[in-house]
Amino acid sequence: MHVLVTGGAGYIGSHAVLLLLEAGHQVSVYDNLSNSSPESLRRVCAMAGASPELFIGDLLDSDRLKEVMLNVKPDAVIHFGGLKAVGESVEKPLAYYRNNVVGTVNLIEAMECADVRRLVFSSSATVYAESKKLPLMEDAPRDASNPYGRTKLHIEQMLEDLAVSSGEWSIGILRYFNPVGAHPSGNIGEDPQGIPNNLMPFISQVAVGRRNEVKIFGKDYPTYDGTGVRDYIHVVDLAQGHLDAIDFLTHHKGQFVWNLGTGSGTSVLDVIGAFSRACGRQLPYKIVERRAGDIAEYYGDPTAARLELGWKAERGIEEMACDMWKWQSQNPAGYGEFEIGDYTNEDLNAYIKGIKDTLSSTNVVS
């Protein structure tokens, strides 16, 4: 199958591209490289022994999107492309609505132009309303508490309306809980720009010496040890869920929603403990006040994905921490700096394929 992956050079996208290539699919990537590097795809290509075709483009450039969609005519699209920082979305809500919601409208219109109607959408557990009823089922009430989460909720509702308006669409909405970890090779992983907002990448940077200590946002929550509890899911398990969703959509029309989580929660203190074991030293931390907007705990019920997709998370928090540490210790500065500058699509595809390596001094796969 030929799959077009928006945001395929990013953290979760690059892991999905690797698994797609390893499963024998043909892959095209549409990415503006605003928050990712072609280095991730070069390493994916070196590991998979097959290369995705990169098309540099922005979801807000509807002409470019249509041109690529008509050129590629994929069998399916996986849509990772979007802005995803909760805190930034509060400061710049319009940028988030424009990029995430309008960008997705552009994507759907481009797909209609090319008669491509199989879509997997990267949604988030952040669309769920705060609830005491755990684990969260897919029919739990939705009510996002920040602009980022509201863009995901609006897109879900838009896709529901699209599926009702036309019986031709096959749409899979995947609600991620907390994606963490890295490919066990240590060659690809999460490479956040600036100070990480999320817990695991922050801990990882403390472990590698880029940050001094972990700040635990509150230890007075009504949870088993007083710190926040979340459903952390290994990024490789998460990526596999996308392949299983694509397979399901090959035989089903309509709109479907699946939680992708482990079904259990882990506290902040336990994540720090797991990472301390992974890196071989007790990581320093300090208890500080709660972070505005945080809730005590949430975790998902992945039964529907197991029954309908045959998917379940295989990796636990220890493996998440070990794999994240391997990536971080092998790549203390992530993929290194990358500015798209005046590189052409041809330059970057030659780099990804290993034909040229003049883009930067970034280490390539060992």
Q: Tell me: does residue 330 bind ligand WQD (CB under 6 A).
A: no
Query: In this chain, which of 228, 241, 263, 334 binds ligand WQD, going by CB under 6 A?
Result: 228
Closest Cα partner for 69 from 120, 28, 20? 28
CA–CA separation, 257 and 123 (whole Å): 9
Q: Tell me: does residue 285 bind ligand WQD (CB under 6 A).
A: no
Binding region for ligand WQD (CB under 6 A) out of 89-97, 194-202, 315-323, 343-351: 194-202
Query: In this chain, which of 110, 159, 216, 246 binds ligand WQD, going by CB under 6 A?
Result: 216
Q: Look up 148 and say whether it is catalytic.
A: yes
Selected catalytic residue, list 96, 128, 148, 351: 148
CB atoms within 10 A of CB 79: 24
Nearest approach, Cβ of 345 to ligand WQD (angstroms)? Answer: 29
CA–CA separation, 338 and 148 (whole Å): 25
Q: Tell me: does residue 176 bind ligand WQD (CB under 6 A).
A: yes
State which residue, 38 or 81, has the beta carbon closest to ligand WQD: 81
Subset of 108-127 contacting ligand WQD (CB under 6 A): 124, 126
What are the structure tokens assigned to 49, written together? 């022994």
Please, is 76 exposed, middle or buried when counting C-beta atoms within 10 Å of its C-beta (0-12, 13-18, 19+)? buried
Please identify the residue of the shown chain whose CB is closest to the bound ligand WQD: 228
Closest Cα partner for 8 from 32, 143, 25? 32
Nearest approach, Cβ of 146 to ligand WQD (angstroms)? Answer: 7
Q: Tell me: does residue 198 bind ligand WQD (CB under 6 A).
A: yes
Question: Given the structure tokens 């946002």, which residue do they identify?
Answer: 217
CA–CA separation, 104 and 58 (whole Å): 11
Q: Tell me: does residue 211 bind ligand WQD (CB under 6 A).
A: no
- Chain centre to alpha carbon of residue 349: 22
Binding region for ligand WQD (CB under 6 A) out of 6-14, 210-218, 302-310, 318-326: 210-218
- Cis ω for the linkage preceding 135 (within 30 of 0): yes
Q: Which residues bind ligand WQD (CB under 6 A)?
A: 84, 86, 124, 126, 176, 178, 197-199, 202, 215-217, 228, 230, 268, 291, 294
